[in-house]
Amino acid sequence: MRLLTGTLFALAVATFVGLGMTYFALSRGAAFGALPIESWVAWPKTGTVDADPYARASIARAGRLPVALGDGVSFTVQADDNGKLLDGRCDIVLSGITPAARFWTLTLYNNDGDLIANSINRYGFTSEEIVRRADGNFEIVVAPRANPGNWLPTGGIERYQLVLRLYDTAVGVSTKAGREVPMPAISTRSCP
Amino acid sequence: MIRWLLLLLGGVLLGGVVHLATVIILPRTATQDAYARLTPIAPVNTVVALPLPSPEKAVMPFMDPAFASAVCRYDLSEGPLKLTVPVSPAYTSVSFYTRHDVAYYAINDRAAGRRVIELDLMTAAQHEQVPEDEEITAADRLIVESPTPTGVIAIRAMAPEPGLMPVALGAVAASRCVRQTEPARTKK
């Protein structure tokens, strides 16, 4: 009897710990070879055959096709530079420049990867659409209500993520965070 | 007390094994991976244009709304495949994925260096059967080896602004992936 309860206890712990860790790892999108630059993070290796088992599992679970490394690199951000999670009810400002790439796109998704409905049917910007200042820097306002300039509507949802995809770029597996890869700064300007 | 602590430790260690096993097995058992999502809408060895993603529905999560995309779900068991993609004015890329959605190759319009991206997709075994002289005479023919007999090719053309989307849609719609009717080795 003691052996039985002991075994069942150990197996229950194993199931709980094992499945819990798997769920946690995949819902966090964990994989090796992360390239964090300021608040942004990319997993260039996920778009190659060298993708590790965690990357493979999270790709399969999400049901997406990752951006292949020969195509581009995809950076994600979920919190501003102060670590505050992006809130669709606040006005959030992205400012600065992006690493060198032939084209880039910035897209707003909810945490399931769906686009967010809004009154002007704008889901993101491309590098060609953006209005820049004379020095090449740009400012994008991500906010629930219309703003002058580059306005990206949030639809007022609570949590979202921004994905910056660089196409035809030198940024990749061997890139180190630094001067050559400047990412836009993100700050929460005002919250209701 | 010590007995329970040991059991707990054993359980945690075993949990680590369970964790690793589930992570490794998951891609093989996923029923809603990208390949499975494409299966009902994309017949084998044909280019199928995907509808543009919208908030109401998208074929896959995290699709880039600035791109027109099409897929060719391929099966090389009957022979190699020939892929032709006309280049759109802005940016066009072709990415190759295995059956389990791992990207193994990608090429863009600039790397291809011409108006039409043309390449042959085959398995390693089929590549070995291509006669050497043929490979030399067709030096400008790009051959891509697929690590798995089935998989997905994603063809994507960018619309830098919404007004250019029809052009991008036209480019991906004009793409072709066809099985090579004549096996390369019978050609003279």
Q: DSSP per residue over B33-79, as a string?
A: SHHHHHTTT--BTSEEEPPPP-SS--SSTT--TTEEEEEEEEEGGG-
SS3 state of residue B102: coil
Contact A64 B61 (CB under 8 A): yes
- In this model, does residue B140 exceed pLDDT 70? no
Residue B42 shares a structural domain with residue B4: no
Report yes or no: A154 and A110 within 8 Å, Cβ to Cβ: no
- In this model, does residue B53 exceed pLDDT 50? yes
* pLDDT value, residue B188: 38
From the list A106, A177, A178, A102, the residue with the least C-alpha distance to A138 is A106
**32-71 in chain B: CB under 8 A from chain A:** 32-34, 36-37, 53-56, 58, 60-67
Amino acid at A117: A
pLDDT digits (tens, 9 = 90+) for B107-127: 998 887 778 888 999 998 888
CA distance to partner chain B, nearest, from residue A126 (Å): 6
pLDDT band at B66 (very low <50, low <70, confident <90, very high): very high
Mean pLDDT throughout B155-180?
92
Residue B78 shares a structural domain with residue B96: yes
Q: Give me the domain span that covers residue B125.
A: 34-56+63-186
Residue A9 or residue B138, greater confidence: A9
Cβ-based contacts of A130 with chain B (< 8 Å): none
The residue whose two tokens read 């979920």 is A78
Query: What's the domain count of chain A?
Result: 2
* pLDDT value, residue B68: 95
Residue B165 shares a structural domain with residue B75: yes
Report yes or no: B103 and A43 within 8 Å, Cβ to Cβ: no
pLDDT band at B136 (very low <50, low <70, confident <90, very high): low
Residue B116 shares a structural domain with residue B138: yes
Instruction: Say how many Å lie between the first and final Cα of chain B, rounded.
Output: 81
The residue whose two tokens read 């093989």 is B28
From the list A156, A148, A8, A29, the residue with the least C-alpha distance to A87 is A156
Report yes or no: B138 and B79 within 8 Å, Cβ to Cβ: no
**Nearest-Cα residue of chain B relative to residue A7:** B7
Query: Average pLDDT, whole number, for chain B?
Result: 87
Q: Give this prediction's pTM.
A: 0.89
Q: Report CA A49 to chain centroid distance, whole Å.
A: 21
Residue A135 shares a structural domain with residue A175: yes
- In this model, does residue B186 exceed pLDDT 50? no
Residue A47 shares a structural domain with residue A140: yes
Residue B19 shares a structural domain with residue B49: no
B96 interfaces chain A, CB cutoff of 8 Å: yes
CA–CA distance, A5 with A7 (Å, rounded to integer)? 6
The residue whose two tokens read 């309860």 is A5
Instruction: Return the DSSP state at A1.
Output: -
ipTM above 0.90, yes or no: no
For chain B, give the percent of residues with pLDDT over 70: 91
Instruction: Return the DSSP state at B184.
Output: G
Residue A62 shares a structural domain with residue A107: yes
Query: Average pLDDT, whole number, for chain A?
Result: 90
CB pairs under 8 A between A and B: 211
With a cut of 70, list the residues of chain A below it in pLDDT. 29, 178-179
Query: What's the domain count of chain B?
Result: 2
Residue B9 shares a structural domain with residue B79: no
CA distance to partner chain B, nearest, from residue A128 (Å): 6
* pLDDT value, residue A32: 80
Q: Give me the domain span that covers residue A113.
A: 33-190
Mean pLDDT throughout B66-81?
93
Residue B24 shares a structural domain with residue B41: no
* pLDDT value, residue A171: 87
Instruction: Return the DSSP state at A85.
Output: B
CA distance to partner chain A, nearest, from residue B172 (Å): 16
What b/e sequence results for B102-130 when a residue is b if at least 16 CB atoms lie within 10 Å of its CB, and e otherwise?
Answer: bbbbbbbbeebeeeebebbbbbeebbeeb
